[in-house]
Amino acid sequence: MRHSLLLILFVLGQVALPLAAQAPAQPNVQDLIGDLVIASGEGVVKRAPDQAFVTVASEARSRQPNEAQAQNAKVATAIRARLAGFKLPDDAVRTVSVDMQPEFDWANGKQTLKGYLATNVIEVRLDDVARVGDVVDGVIASGATRVAGVRFTLKDMAAAEQQALSLASASALARAKAMASGVGRNVDRVVRLDETGGAAPPPRPMPMMRAMAAQAADVPSTPVTAGEVEVRVTVTLHASLR
């Protein structure tokens, strides 16, 4: 029995030795960190906008809420009719909000109801940015009391973002190679790449404008400058060194 037990232990030992020899050594964490380079890169794409959104509002005040709403509906209908003359697509005009708010006067610490303010806000999408000035003039002439903002954008924003990401990644890799070269090393391979910031900045709004009560026939068209849409992204790259 004793000889059999020794034989079994000997055989197990002979099997275990090759397995132990084949097991890879566990890398030291500090060594792994020392063989990494981390760099960031930024990609910026600037393009002329090919789409614009104009937000306009009609307002009406009255002592009675139903009268305020009726007056506002009349103006809003006139604005819609004017927009129809621009031959816009059916989905280019949408209602953003319809609102009714009481207004108060304060005197001697007391609140007194003054009347009601009815507001109808719509957003107009223009696929031809050259028409923004004409649309602004048209809706004001139709009774709009506020142009709440004009913003410019790109129809294919995703393509611009992808191009900016590609530029940012190339920039990060170039920086990583320069860093490695400075210490006599070379970049072996990229082990991680993260987008750490990006997308387009908020579109630039046009200053709020209020319509005048009367419009002269010879008022010049509102000048609107689209400028450029800027897409900016940042990536962080981790690469191993050799």
Reported as a pLDDT band with limits 50, 70 and 90, residue 199 is low
Q: What are the structural domains, with CATH classification, of the chain?
A: 26-48+156-203+228-242 (3.30.110.170), 51-153 (3.30.70.2970)
Q: How confident is the model at residue 29 (pLDDT cuts 50, 70, 90)?
A: very low
Residue 70 has pLDDT above 90, yes or no: yes
What are the DSSP E strand ranges found in the chain?
A: 36-47, 51-62, 93-107, 110-126, 146-153, 187-197, 209-210, 229-241
**Residue 99 scores a pLDDT above 90:** yes
For residue 79, what are the CA distances in angstroms to 156, 174, 197, 212?
A: 29, 54, 40, 15
In this model, does residue 137 exceed pLDDT 80? yes
Taking residues 66-92, report their average pLDDT: 95
Alpha carbons 146 and 75: distance in angstroms, whole number: 12
C-alpha span between 41 and 102 (Å, rounded): 52
* pTM beyond 0.95: no
